[in-house]
Amino acid sequence: MSTISIKTAEDIEGMRVAGRLASEVLDYITPFVKVGVTTGEIDRLCHEYMVNVQGTIPAPLNYCPPGYTPYPKAICTSVNDVICHGIPGDKVLKNGDVVNLDITVIKDGYHGDNSRMFFAGEPSILARRLSEVTYECMWLGIAKVRPGAHLGDIGHVIQQHAEKSGYSVVREFCGHGIGKVFHEEPQVLHYGRPGTLEKLEAGMIFTIEPMINAGRRDIREMGDGWTIKTKDRSLSAQWEHTILVTETGYEVLTLSAGSPPPPAIIGAPAQAVAA
């Protein structure tokens, strides 16, 4: 347990600010995600907004975990069968494309990390359904967060909902603790058994970010060393929020004016447990 940091009141306030700012980047970029735009242009706009308007630092830029080359861009743009870590570039969004934009900003040393799904033009019924179910998976996981619950409770409810819907859960990538460090303990698996893994305590902060595939869960890594795709080329979706464990439940730190509301499956008001 000692490896999981419990955040101070000062840390939590810093994380609230960083989380809101990360969400506001997604609000800002929403109208630009449309047919004909390149992923590189989306990255450029986000990068300029972070640096020039917010005074934040894009955390992914030059991020270099052991065994990787430095990540070359400010955000991740994962289109269609890209599960995660898609590098922005010359790719032009076409009608029906689905794209996950993953944004992490650093403000006063604290990291705010979140992602949303976007559609260019009119998505297929499959794509819309996959995105909806993935969003429900994330929120079902969030709703399990409270002191005394286990990380396995989160993974279990996500896996159940995804597989009941006919989809599969990517296992090689997971949510993570976050604070002044981008990725720290604990690892937050999106599958598992209730009552297993670490017990949650007030003051923990971590992401819940299920990656759900329309086909099989198997992955393949592209030659750039970052981009991860579905092995069977099926569509993949992901949503992400950063969550604080409170004394009585949870608080979603990555909320802003443009955040989509919790899904009906959660019941309202979802945030009431954080009050």
pLDDT digit string, tens, across residues 207-245? 999 999 999 999 999 999 999 999 999 999 999 999 999
In a domain, 45, yes or no: yes
pLDDT band at 271 (very low <50, low <70, confident <90, very high): very low
Mean pLDDT of 141-146: 98
CA distances for 162 relative to 155, 158, 236, angstroms: 11, 6, 12
Q: Is residue 176 part of a domain?
A: yes
Percentage of the chain beyond pLDDT 90 is 95
Does residue 263 lie within any of the structural domains?
A: yes
Residue 267 lies in a domain: yes
Annotated binding site for substrate: 85, 183
Domain contains 131: yes
Please count the structural domains in the chain. 1
The reply to whether 239 falls in a domain is: yes
Boundaries of domain holding 140: 9-274
Positions at the binding site for a divalent metal cation: 102, 113, 176, 209, 240
Q: Which of 32-36, 66-70, 151-155 has the weakest average pLDDT?
A: 66-70
Model confidence pLDDT, tens digit, residues 158-215? 999 999 999 999 999 999 999 999 999 999 999 999 999 999 999 999 999 999 999 9
**Mean pLDDT for the chain?**
95
Could you tell me if residue 128 is inside a domain?
yes
CATH number for the domain harbouring residue 34: 3.90.230.10
So what's the pLDDT on residue 3?
Answer: 83
Going by the annotation, the residues of the binding site are 85, 102, 113, 176, 183, 209, 240
- Asked whether residue 98 is assigned to any structural domain, the reply reads yes
